Amino acid sequence: MVRLEGVVKRFGPMTALRGIDLQLRRACTLGLFGPNGAGKTTLLNILATLTRPSAGMVWIAGYDARRDAAKIRPLLGVLTHRTFLYGHLTAYENLRFYGRLFGVPRLTERITDVLHTVDLLTQAHQLVRTYSRGMQQRLAIARAILHSPALLLLDEPYTGLDKHATDRLQVLLQQLRGEARTIILSTHDWHGGFEGYDEVAIQCRGNIVYRGPSCGLDVPGFDQLYRTYVG
């Protein structure tokens, strides 16, 4: 589903990515861990075709990201630090707007389905500006999955969430994993455990320095592994 070869990204004199090689099979969930400034957001932005690499090649679902970005974008669901929701609209109106952009068939039924998935159906006609941070995050995920993307890119989805909202989001991510989507989730916090990932990777100073299966990992063991690579 995802293949990167020698991906480099420079911003003037600063190098954010230093030759990333990565392959990810379909229906795999990858937890991408690393400190702030490791280049995780830059990597996800390249996968989302929001920015181009300075060097290297990127393929998504067999498409070349340089030549075929227009074909790749309908395959993507992207969650960033911004929700891209309109506070003066209701949840339903937000999803209707995005659904029309993507040409989602049977849109009313699909909106009902995703609002149920994120447990916001009873708040469907409430203005988004009245939502809590956790509710907005769940609605942003509904926006990201509305068009049934093949690849879901989640950049620090737990940022700003309290314990209750974090637990709800973890349940939701387990549901999405069960739908056989390919998911890349970046975060600097691994203390929630590894049950939601098939594989984990550590990114540091623009490089992927570790990658392996999540099975058998526990938080103390990963903490020691993380400190070995990150310091």
Q: Residue 23 forms beta bridges with which residues?
A: 3
25 touches 40 (CB < 8 A)? no
Of 22, 44, 41, 75, the closest CA to residue 208 belongs to: 22
179 pLDDT band (50/70/90 cuts)? Answer: confident
Give the model confidence (pLDDT) of 16-37 as tens digits: 999 999 999 999 999 999 998 9
Neighbouring C-alpha atoms within 13 Å toward the C-beta of 204: 12
- Quick one: fold of 2-83+150-230? Rossmann fold (3.40.50)
89 touches 97 (CB < 8 A)? yes
Helix (H) or strand (E) holding 138: helix 133-145
Q: What DSSP string runs through 27-95? A: T-EEEEE--TTSSHHHHHHHHTTSS--SEEEEEETTEETTT-HHHHGGGEEEE-SS----TTSBHHHHH
160 touches 133 (CB < 8 A)? yes
Between the alpha carbon of residue 74 and those of residues 144, 162, 166, 173, 193, the distances in Å are 11, 32, 28, 20, 31
- Cβ-proximal residues to 35 (8 Å cutoff; 6+ apart), any chain: 188, 204, 230
- Average pLDDT, stretch 192-206? 89
* Amino acid type, 213: P
Give the model confidence (pLDDT) of 70-99 as tens digits: 999 999 999 998 999 999 999 999 999 999
**Sequence spans of domains, the chain:** 2-83+150-230
> What is the token pair recorded at 149?
């993307």
Q: Average pLDDT, whole number, for the chain?
A: 93
pTM for this entry: 0.93
